[in-house]
Structure 1
Amino acid sequence: MKRFKIKTEVCFSENAIDALSEIKNKRAVIITDSFMSSSGAAKRIADKMTGCTSVDIFDQVRPDPPIEMVVAGVKFLTEHQADVVVALGGGSSIDAAKGVVLMMKKTRPEQKISLIAIPTTSGTGSEVTEFAVITDKERGIKYPLVDEELLPDMAILDPSLVVTAPPSVTADTGFDVITHALEAYVSVNASDASDALAEKALELAFEYLPKAYKDGSDLTAREKMHSASCLAGMAFNAVSLGVNHGIAHQLGAKFHIPHGRANAMLLPYVIEFNADVAGHFGEADSEAAVRYAKVAERIGLPCNNVRTGVKALIDELSYMLDMMKVPRTLSAAGVKEADYNAVRSDILRAAVADPCTATNPRSVDEEKVELILNKMLGWSL
């Protein structure tokens, strides 16, 4: 049996943040990072919350939020008796807020608390998912959290909050959207509902990501990428992801490669691996290959047959990666060969064990993960 559910109310388009004025008689805490605080973005959000009895700002979020930061956030919420949390920022801020709220609900169930997510990048889809990732810095491990309590009560998608994102961030987060949608589309749990969401997300992302990258002030492109991110988030929240994310989590934890960038670097090689079309002429194409070809056809790429469709999709992604100056190898991303070799076994083991890998369309073991990684090292074996 397959299921699909969504509890998050989504407010979107320009001026969507005005919905915050509808919150009445609540004690709010905005969880964000120091940049959002110092740039005035957090104050802009706070100023919209005129119906709240208090609005305080917790701005200690860092990339790859660690367990210690979650504990500090719980302490801050407890001290301010918060009953509304507003997560403002990219994936790290939203994940951090989710971790804080989840810990509050588990340790203080008597204290009712709601969560509002306001993304300032178009990538994670975290505003509509029951997933979060918290990092154990000492062990260099990222822990995916999965719990219905992590689903925000409201998501606010306001494109005006994304226009200042630099091109590199736009690219990294945009490829995260594409990876979410593609992995959901070929997931072993894929359904009619998730397919519809993933297909629309891919149509939007392939059309509007290049436009948002070239002109960050293009509000239409920003709004469409926000929508694509949200739709892809709904899709993978229902059916999970695949080995692309399973490996990317480890590259982020070990080498601090931004999550979306790690996904982007892996994507052409994972598609090639999952499609598994090389050297199999005369045999039936895999279901994943057929689905990748459908994506190629849907976004207007040449698709005379399944194999040409898969190749066209990989070629288009490779072109976009180069156009947006995304590094194509671990070496180009700053990873040293000696550092990689020191943790190679840990990466392989953790990638196979990662919960996302379980729904990959092709079975995965450590040897197969290494085959994927070997194509993107950037140094000779």
Structure 2
Amino acid sequence: MEKFSMNTNIFMGKNSLDRLLEWKNKSIMLISDPYISKSGMLNVITDRLKQGDNSIHLFDQIVPDPPIETIVEGMSLMRNCRPEMVIAVGGGSAIDAAKAIKYFAEKGLDFTDVPLIAIPTTSGTGSEVTSFSVITDAGKNVKYPLVDDEMLPSEAILDPSLVLTVPAAVTADTGMDVLTHAIEAYVSLNANDISDAMAEKAVRLVFSYLEEAHKNGQNLVAREKMHIASCMAGIAFNQTSLGLNHGIAHICGAKFHIPHGRINSILLPAVIEYNADLKGYNDRDYSMAAQKYAELAKILGLPASNPRTGVRSLISAITKLQNSLGMPVSLQACGVEAKTLSELKAEISKAALNDACTKTNPRQPTEEEVQQILEKIY
């Protein structure tokens, strides 16, 4: 028996921020980061909230890869201000931090059923519709994925006006994160027809609109389509979990201080090749993953007369997209030294195998195979 549930109400499209005008006389904890706070972007949020005579308690100390200490600090403010709802505004870090703050506050500080509204300002993590949160132990350089349905936001507001000024490099990183989410969800051991439909559409949107969003950030149509793609990929992987790509990326990104979407992008062609497990040309016993990768190639209009051709076409298309976005395609291009990789690859491989995402990968790797992938992407 399979289950598909969708517990987050989604408001999307032009002027979707007007949803904020519907709340009156609420005590609201607003969670964001210093950049968004100082840039004035929060004004479009607070101006609407103030029209309803809501009281706002701002916590804008979120940093990339939010550390445990920040979560504790946010819980302290939540305990003091006793909000009736929490609104997270920002990228994946802000939304993940808000999830963790609310979750642990409800577990340990006698809060119950405080709604969380997620307003993403990047198109990448899909965190606004997932029960995942990633927090960091800065001392150990380790990221901890948390998974609990209680962390699902009550609402997500996808207003494309909030992503028009996202820098090109961030657009590329987050866009490739969307693609990785969709592809990993598609070949996950837990995939089903409904998650496949979400993942397929997300992949098509990425290949249709990411390059334009990167080249012309003010293109509202491209921005809106990437925002929706991110959300759809999030819905897909929230049902299916992810795979080895993220299993490696969580630890690898933390150790080498590479942005999450960027390390996912670097890993993606190598992980697809590993999962497809293509053997000799006379072998026609194709893996499930190889067949599904080939199906994606067909959907994208790429050559896919057989699974082998389809897998190669998909990898080639991803590489072409990376090049068009000017993205690094190796650890070396990100400044990682060969000696550093050699010293850390055993530790990274062990951590990747223990990552929750790896459990739903279509092919179960060994430590040696993970190390081979790391060497391949160097």
Q: TM-score, normalised by structure 1?
A: 0.97
Match of 1:366? 367
Residue aligning to 1:196: 197
Q: CA deviation at 1:290?
A: 0.5
Q: For 1:34-73, list aligned pairs within 5 A.
A: 34-49=34-49, 50-73=51-74
Bigger mean CA deviation after superposition, 358-367 or 103-112: 103-112
Amino acid at match of 2:75: V
What is the CA–CA distance in structure 2 between the aligned matches of 1:179 and 1:113, rounded to whole Å?
31
Aligned to 1:10: 10
C-alpha distance 25-275 of structure 1, shift in aligned 2 (>3 A): same
Residue type of the alignment partner of 1:164:
T
Matches within 5 A, 1:132-147: 132-147=133-148
Structure 1 position 280, deviation (Å): 5.2
The SS at the match of 2:283 is coil
Q: Tell me the SS of whatever aligns to 2:334.
A: coil
Work out the percentage of aligned pairs sharing the same amino acid.
52
2:271 counterpart residue number: 270
Q: Deviations over 1:329-358 (max 9, x none)?
A: 111111122322332221010001000000
The aligned residue for residue 104 of structure 1 is 105
Read off the aligned partner of 2:2 and give its amino acid letter. K
- Within a 5 Å distance, the mapping from 1:31-180 to structure 2 comes to 31-49=31-49, 50-180=51-181
2:111 & 2:62 partners in 1: Cα distance?
A: 26
2: CA distance between counterparts of 1:253 and 1:55? 33
Could you tell me how far 1:111 is from its partner in structure 2? 4.4
1:161 is displaced (CA, Å) by: 0.3
1:30 to partner: Cα distance: 1.2
Cα distance in 2 for partners of 1:165, 1:258 equals: 15
Matched to 2:244, the amino acid is V
**Residue in 2 aligned with 1:261?**
262
Asked if the contact 1:74–1:104 (Cα under 8 Å) also holds between the matched residues in 2, the reply is yes
* Counterpart-to-counterpart distance in 2, 1:43 and 1:262: 33
The code of the aligned residue for 1:374 comes to E
Cα RMSD for the two superposed structures: 1.1
Note the C-alpha offset of 1:189. 0.7
Instruction: Report how many residues are paired.
Output: 377
Residue by residue over 1:15-68, the C-alpha shift from the partner in whole angstroms, topping out at 9 and shown as x without a partner, is 111101112221111111100000011122111112253012111000000000
Conservation of the 8 A alpha-carbon contact between 1:28 and 1:52? no
Give the gaps of 5 or more residues in structure 2.
none
Runs ≥4 in structure 1, deviation > 4 angstroms?
none
Q: Deviations over 1:120-166 (max 9, x none)?
A: 11010000000010000111111100011110000000000001011
Cross-structure match for 2:311: 310
* Matched residue SS, 2:333: coil
SS of 1:99's equivalent?
helix
Q: Is the 8 A contact 1:83 1:111 kept in 2?
A: no
Q: How many angstroms does 1:282 deviate by? A: 2.8
Alignment partners' CA distance in 1, 2:307 and 2:33 = 45
* Shift in alpha-carbon separation, 1:278–1:215, aligned structure 2, 3 A: farther
DSSP 3-state at the match of 2:363: coil
Match of 1:245 in 2: 246
Shift of 1:224: 0.4
Query: How far apart, CA to CA, are the structure 2 residues paired with 1:341 and 1:48?
Result: 52
5+ long unaligned stretches in structure 1: none
The equivalent residue for 1:346 is: 347
> Do residues 285 (structure 1) and 286 (structure 2) align?
yes
**CA positional deviation for 1:297:** 0.5
Contact 2:23–2:54 (Cα < 8 Å) also in 1: no
Is 1:24 aligned to residue 24 of structure 2?
yes
